[in-house]
Structure 1
Amino acid sequence: MTADGRTLRADARAAPRRGGGTWQAHWETWRPYTTWHPALLGLAGALVAGGSSPGPLAVALLAPVLGWLAGHYLGDYFDRDLDAIAKPHRPIPSGRLTPRAALTCGIACVAGSLVLTIVVNWRTLPVFACAVAGIITYSRLFKQRGLAGNLNRGVLSALAMVVGAMAVAPWPPWALLPAALGFALHDTASNLIGTVRDVDGDRAGGYRSVPVRHGTATAVRTAAVLWLSAMVAVGVGAVVADRPAAQFGGLALAVLVGGCAFVVVRPGTVTPRRALRSHEVLVAERMLLAGVVVAGAAGPLVAGAVVLPALVSSLVMQARMRARHEFPADAGDGEDTP
């Protein structure tokens, strides 16, 4: 542990507990502004695979969400020492949620997701096992190893699409491959932007993230390349989609929105707060991107009906919760260049 790390840990012990009871702590742990994303990924995968029955479609939405919540609970459990240094206001280090409760809830979410997926298609078990392994190894192994951790998170998003497809079909169709690759690249990029936001805490905790090792400018450029590659992959997917014009049209909008995220962190302007705003834009844009795949499979009306309410809900919750979850209340404006 570095001297800075020891100082930050001491400050964390002295930090006041943030208000809110146990249910509030669980709500914060869920990051509800992100949970629409796995639901939309599962739905997109199911629709590309030709799903239409309400029951399997419900599983395609719910199983990835439970897996996503498991990732939050287990990630916070494994990251509790790092959060005690950099984010002492979060539920576990603040004492509002016990590590045992987080671990128990994470395991329960894994079990619930497993039951749902196995009931509709036992062939999903190897995919499910890979997803659980990815959740655990992200915090325990890969998060502190730079780009490998970012890639880990991206692959989890691709697996959510595969789980959704296999809720309605024995095997995922080949037409899903470009979209799954696109989301693997996109969420690798967005997770990398998240490490730019967390660079000070990661450095103090001894985590060798890309911005810690190579600087924030390199991290942003790498994220931009990954994001552009994701747009190309989803565009390739439009060629084999049932409604290519709808997917290409939606993709153009997603490109415009996502591009704004990288304008926010253009060279010479990168700060933790700007990285947070960039990540918030990417959180919204990836929901649009999932809607792009839905539009290619089921048409723009279906895509709009499911994506717009989810997007509005996510934006409202981000505005109310996001900054408070990422930064202590007394952190200031965070606009000093790291």
Structure 2
Amino acid sequence: MHSVPSVRVRLLAHVEACRPDTVCYAGAVGLSGAILSDPAARPHQLLFAWLVPTLAWIASLYGGDYFDRELDALVKPHRPVPSGRIPATTARNLMVLLIGAGGLLAVLINPLALLLALPATAFGIAYAWWLKGKGLWGNVSRGLPTALAFLFGSMTVQPLPAAALVPLALMFWVHDSGSNLLGALCDRDGDRRGGYLTYPVLHGDDATVRGLTGFHVGWLALAVAWPPAFGDRIDPLAYYLPLAGCAALAWISLRGVVRAPRPIARAVGVRAHEVLVLERVVLGTFLIAAAGRVGLAALVCVPSLAVTALARRMMRGRYEPAG
């Protein structure tokens, strides 16, 4: 007979499930959409722009743990759901609750936000339930909600996002599709054992590295090309300087897997992903500075980087052992 986990064990399991090393990102992207649309956005608008994507992000994490419970039981039994520290039904119910809460808040700030909330929910669930094991389709579907979070941020300050923001939304989509592909490379061996036909499982390491390179070049090209065409009200120095930092960190991450012996060891992929989770915090906040709110950008970015780095260090052995 299994003992019931203590309250402390269950609380720590929920902290682990919420991935504190990734949770700062989605809200920052929403804030960027709001500030870029209206640098003078009011505090309650900024709160909604940050909170709704954050709730959606956490919901997707619980959903992933719920739908992956059988695979995790096989290859990652230490994780919260297969270890029994969080019941599967609890993970499912929290996913539903957080989706509902986020959707309600989104509609309260702008009823038209339902146009984004519905596809974000559909693709988030479809990824966790089915698309994850469908090659590149899974990676692309997982990147879409971040693009929608950016557009939702814009909709907290105006009825519909400006067409000029679409290339930046596409940038976030391409970037996060690549980030997810890197995560799939880390999980390649376990996914193969579990029968998940992810892109690395189907096509191997060399094709995956080419895909990662293509995603990296794609998001960076979109980011570099945006100001001359659409960014007439942004500060070029505050835009391109942090973007150069993002590009450098992304290249460090990519170089690690490009130069690694084949097959690429899981530890190499995990280290590359650790660099990328820091890079995307900067990517999620640099538009705030470019729109003229440098102080707010620093207020969001610096603590988020600290939380991400500290949480990654603390969670490395618990959640992502680099075996």
Structure 1 and Structure 2 fold alike (TM over 0.5): yes
What is the deviation of 1:48? 1.3
Alpha-carbon distance in structure 2 between the residues aligned to 1:138 and 1:170: 28
Alpha-carbon contact 2:31-2:153 (below 8 Å) kept: yes
What is the deviation of 1:305? 2.6
What is the deviation of 1:299? 4.3
Partner amino acid for 1:286? R
What is the deviation of 1:257? 1.2
Structure 2 SS opposite 1:90: coil
| Map of 1:60 onto structure 2 | 49
Q: Does 1:81 align with 2:75?
A: no
Alpha-carbon distance in structure 1 between the residues aligned to 2:259 and 2:148: 33
Alpha-carbon contact 1:114-1:128 (below 8 Å) kept: yes
Runs of 4+ in 1 over 4 A off after TM superposition: none
TM-score, normalised to structure 1, is 0.89
How many residue pairs are counted as aligned between the two chains? 313
Q: Does 1:258 align with 2:246?
A: no
**Of 101, 119, 125, which residue of structure 1 is paired with 2:90?**
101
**Of 262, 272, 276, which residue of structure 2 is paired with 1:282?**
276
Q: Does 1:297 align with 2:291?
A: yes
Alpha-carbon distance in structure 1 between the residues aligned to 2:227 and 2:99: 33
Alpha-carbon distance in structure 2 between the residues aligned to 1:115 and 1:68: 15
Percent identical among aligned pairs is: 36
| Map of 2:104 onto structure 1 | 115
Alpha-carbon distance in structure 1 between the residues aligned to 2:130 and 2:117: 19
Partner amino acid for 2:136? L
| Map of 1:10 onto structure 2 | none
**Of 222, 225, 232, which residue of structure 1 is paired with 2:211?**
222
Alpha-carbon distance in structure 1 between the residues aligned to 2:25 and 2:44: 20
What is the deviation of 1:214? 1.0
Alpha-carbon contact 1:238-1:296 (below 8 Å) kept: no
Partner amino acid for 2:237? A
Partner amino acid for 1:221? R
Structure 1 residues 181-221: Cα deviation after superposition (integer angstroms, max 9, x where no partner): 11101111110010111011100111111111111222122
Alpha-carbon contact 1:87-1:326 (below 8 Å) kept: no
Equivalences for residues 1-338 of structure 1 within 5 A: 21-50=9-38, 52-239=41-228, 240-241=230-231, 242-269=234-261, 270-327=264-321, 334=323
TM-score, normalised to structure 2, is 0.93
Partner amino acid for 1:302? L
Structure 1 SS opposite 2:130: helix
Alpha-carbon distance in structure 1 between the residues aligned to 2:81 and 2:312: 20
Gaps of 5+ in 2: none
Alpha-carbon contact 1:73-1:106 (below 8 Å) kept: yes
Alpha-carbon contact 2:181-2:212 (below 8 Å) kept: yes
Structure 2 SS opposite 1:21: helix
| Map of 1:3 onto structure 2 | none
Alpha-carbon distance in structure 1 between the residues aligned to 2:136 and 2:226: 25
Alpha-carbon distance in structure 1 between the residues aligned to 2:148 and 2:137: 16
Gaps of 5+ in 1: 1-16, 328-332
Structure 1 residues 254-281: Cα deviation after superposition (integer angstroms, max 9, x where no partner): 1111110012212443210110111111
What is the deviation of 1:325? 0.7
What is the deviation of 1:323? 4.1
Partner amino acid for 2:101? G
Partner amino acid for 1:43? L
Structure 2 SS opposite 1:88: coil
